Amino acid sequence: MTRGLDLDRARAWLGSALGVDDPATFAAQQITGGRSNLTFVLASGPRRWILRRPPLGERLPTAHSMRREYRVLDALAASDVPVPRPCALCEDEALIGAPFYVMEHVAGRVIRRPADAVDLTPEQARACALALVDTLAALHTAPYERLGLGDFGRPDGYMERQVERWHDQLHRSRVRPLPALDELGARLRGTVPAAAHVAVLHGDYRIDNVLLDPADPGRVAAVLDWEMATLGDPLADLGMLLMYWGQAGERYAHEIQSVTALPGFLRRDEVVDRYAQQTGWTLDGLDFYVAFAHFKLAVIVEGIVARQQAGATVGAGFEGIDEIAPALATHGLEVVA
């Protein structure tokens, strides 16, 4: 049995839901790289799917909702935003110990570290960067009410609630003192800008949460990892993208930030200009959103540190994770300063 997925218990349900006549042919393998929801490649003969379920161990309230992920994918499949097509949702926790859903397998290339992108020419890197920004702009300008997502979140007061929510999550996840993170959170309170727009938010938009076309790195084949999607202030997504968007000569809290320092990738100011061009929006108060992105990611990482200390993480990729939150907090303080 693969930890986190008792495939034998799920075979009959999966066969019925996915139209596989012989459920005994199913095989599953965990995809490493993500540190939150667990993701598996599900196969039967030449057919492939992706199965997603929440992480092991205790889950924070409102986090890791499979129904929400499934719903936003189903809605956006009818839009210009490239997403995997959802296939089946199971909310019966008795089957594998947690709710889960299955979506189509999309062939694509994932870039998580500079070594994954060293073969890109400067022209390809630029095209990749433009595609990332344009895809985010397409998400934020998608007609969410017409897509059936008008009640997908509570956009009024979204950022105020986000600041308080991630303070609360930090309190719930805390396993060690983090004075710089506490200071950053305190500075964010009471300085939230008024939202100028409402959009569907991804919640963790960055280069390694998209699949690039294997033959054309300038085309996004699919946007992945929708576990934090909601309705709210779209500048929260842009701030997150900019937090991950490193430039040459900078210090990085995480290796992914150094990908966009490679030759050809846009500078952060060019990212901002391109996004403004694609949306037609002005971007007042953007520094707040970038600083908040540092705070939010640091709290998320601390939740993973807590699960790691409790022995509830699965797979590799956790080396040095305890160093990430302090570095993010320091960078966030530099932004607000």
Measured CA to CA, the distance from residue 80 to residue 144 in angstroms comes to 12
CATH 3.90.1200.10 matches 114-336: yes
> Which residues 6+ apart lie within 8 Å of 76 measured at CB?
83, 139, 142, 147, 200
pLDDT tens digit string along 265-287? 999 999 999 999 999 999 999 99
Model confidence at 11: pLDDT above 70:
yes
Domain ranges of the chain: 7-104, 114-336
pLDDT at residue 3 in the model: 78
Model confidence at 59: pLDDT above 70:
no
Measured CA to CA, the distance from residue 251 to residue 246 in angstroms comes to 8
CA dihedral 215→216→219→222, nearest 10 degrees, is: 20
pLDDT band at 251 (very low <50, low <70, confident <90, very high): confident
Burial 194-229 (b: 16+ CB within 10 A, else e): ebeebbbbbbbbbbbbbbbbeeebbbbbbbbbbbbb
Q: For residue 88, give the 3-state DSSP assignment.
A: strand
pLDDT at residue 190 in the model: 84
CATH homologous superfamily of 7-104 equals: Phosphorylase Kinase; domain 1 (3.30.200.20)
The DSSP annotation for 138-173 comes to HHHTS-TTTTT-TTSS--TTHHHHHHHHHHHHHHHH
Tokens of 85: 């097509």
pTM for this prediction: 0.89
The percentage of residues in the chain with a pLDDT greater than 90, rounded to a whole number, is: 77
Model confidence at 308: pLDDT above 90:
no
pLDDT band at 204 (very low <50, low <70, confident <90, very high): very high
| DSSP conformational letter for 210 | E
